[in-house]
Amino acid sequence: MSIHLKRTTTILNPDQTRVLLRPFSPGGPERVARIIARVMAIPEERVGPLLDEVCVEFCQRHQQIYKNFLERFEQVRESLPEDHELSEKRRWLIGSYFLAEYSLESAALFNPSIVPHPDQSGLPAGCLRFILSLRATGEGHISSITFRTGILRPDMRIEVLPSAGFLTEPQQVPNPVYERVLFGRKLAELGLTSEFTRRVMHKLGESFALEELRASLQTEQFRHPDGMTQEDQDASQGIWMLARSNYEVQFQPEQEISERILFPATPSQRNGIEDARFVCFQNDDGTCTYYATFTAYDGRIVVPELVETSDFLRFRFITLNGPAAENKGMALFPRKIGGHYAMLSRQDNENIDLMFSDNVHFWNEHTTLLKPAFPWELVQLGNCGSPIETDAGWLVLSHGVGPMRQYCIGAFLLDRDDPSKVIGRLREPLLKPNENEREGYVPNVVYTCGALVHNGELIIPYGLADHATSFATVPLADVLAAMDPLPA
């Protein structure tokens, strides 16, 4: 059975003009103080004209730039002499010295996932509005999550709307709420089970805010006027770091989807948020929550994490816990199976594993589901996003690594009621790099983090050589008919 896959002409290339205002820290507190002192020495009559020069050059590139100047000033004002009264313009000017533009996707825009948009209103019959998440990589190879929107037409035309000219980071929600039982389980997993930890947690309610945790920590710290033991100091730091790794952010409704940027915000994400696999998850009550598993990278260690949203305005970042929550490539099934959450993972860099859990945040056990079998995947096998439910079973796109480190996209089929059973598998790749897709940041790679089915067509957004993004479409029936019912 032949597969009639079509590549589209749509290519999303990285755009170096999409810049984000980021804090600029040229050194430690002493250097910051020296820079501020130099700005303070500028005569007042020169402050306004200098600020005007900055604004003329940059205000058309950023919304509310003076607000950003003032916010940054407040972050560095502790380096100011206490007896100085400053004009508003001088505060803005000082703030401008500690900001810099960051070109979000100067290096690459790739590894997409696609989900239905939560708003399907106002569309002609047969159309589907979608949200495309992408991995944007810029200076320092730091990756973040950016978004595009578009429409799938009945004739399978894929329209990606132009991106907005401005980029905006969200406001961090100041007081996220933590559940004490879940928080305690993670502390135990981290080995933070000392008497100090028990006293801190005992002061908290069944749910608590960040400030309540801070107060409890400070109370315990004040109990030791002669200094805390090293064990208690380590416990205190571990508790606080765990809390800061679970946070929420909020965008404003007037900000277009393509303006919204999820940039690394915690120590575990310091060097990037990579390869988010978004899925529209159907809850037991019929509502939908969008989850995305992603890889957090601090420059040395990769750990899987989770983000969830219902509207792409408010996002909640959550650590994934348990001994099976490790390595890259976790992908959540779009609904519970047998009353349990189900997840694909890769525990050993070679095989695809299957996991079940009664809590989406905790994953304790795994079993190997699929091993490399065909020449194009003998180096490594992994998933390419969340399984897609079809009448025939769970369709899973996979990636395989073969000779010359070439990445191809394949597919296999799992039983709908028992996804531990592999009931079909493509012997040949569904998509492999062609001559126009070989060159890029990482040659010979095609890769996706999530596809969807619309009007009987499988829509596959995919990264080209870890540089740009395109789309392919293929009839779902062709893919299913080509499955080998007796996989090797």
Consecutive 10-residue runs of the chain (488 residues): their mean pLDDT? Answer: 91 95 94 95 96 95 94 93 85 97 96 97 96 96 97 95 90 82 87 91 93 91 75 89 88 94 91 96 96 90 91 94 87 97 94 96 95 97 97 98 97 97 96 94 97 97 98 98 77
By percentage, how much of the chain surpasses pLDDT 90?
A: 78
Question: Among 108, 99, 245, which Cα is nearest to 169's?
Answer: 99
- In whole angstroms, give the CA distance from residue 163 to residue 166: 9
Give the residue extent of every domain in the chain.
Answer: 6-14+108-171+247-481, 22-103, 177-245
pLDDT at 486: 61
CATH class, range 6-14+108-171+247-481: mainly beta
- Strand pairing category for 388-390 and 108-116: unpaired
Closest CA to 170 of 147, 186, 200: 147
Strand partners, 458: 453, 474
Q: Per-residue pLDDT tens for 128-144?
A: 999 999 999 999 999 99
CA–CA distance, 127 with 475 (Å, rounded to integer): 17
Are 86 and 73 within 8 A, CB to CB? no
Report the predicted TM-score, pTM, of the whole model to 2 decimal places. Answer: 0.93
CA distances from 176 to 243, 246, 293 (A): 9, 8, 20
